[in-house]
Amino acid sequence: MKEEAKTRENERKYYLSEFSYDDGEFEITFNILDVDFLRQTITVVISRCGKITQDTFPLVRDSKGKLYFEYGLFYENKIQLDDFVHIEEK
């Protein structure tokens, strides 16, 4: 029960957080819609070139224990969850 409450609190912590990423050609903005720690997935809204899409990615843990997801044509870009900033903090 205590673990479930902690999981919900972490999910709320990331909800609607934002991260901007420059891929060398365009600036891409990610907004978190959902982080499911049980299924190890993240659902984000992606704004790129005026187009808005939604996608779900698997969450991966690096050697330091930090969570990230891989993005790009060949999933070559690692986007860390710790890099996201809550919209109200901007």
Q: How far apart are CA 16 and CA 11, in angstroms?
A: 10
Residues ≥6 apart with Cβ < 8 Å to 48: 26, 27, 28, 29
**Which pLDDT band, with edges at 50, 70 and 90, does 10 fall under?**
low
Q: How far apart are CA 54 and CA 48, in angstroms?
A: 11
Question: What is the reported pLDDT for 9?
Answer: 52
Question: What is the reported pLDDT for 5?
Answer: 44
| Portion of the chain with pLDDT greater than 90, in percent | 43
Yes or no: say if 18 and 31 are a contact pair by the CB < 8 Å rule: yes
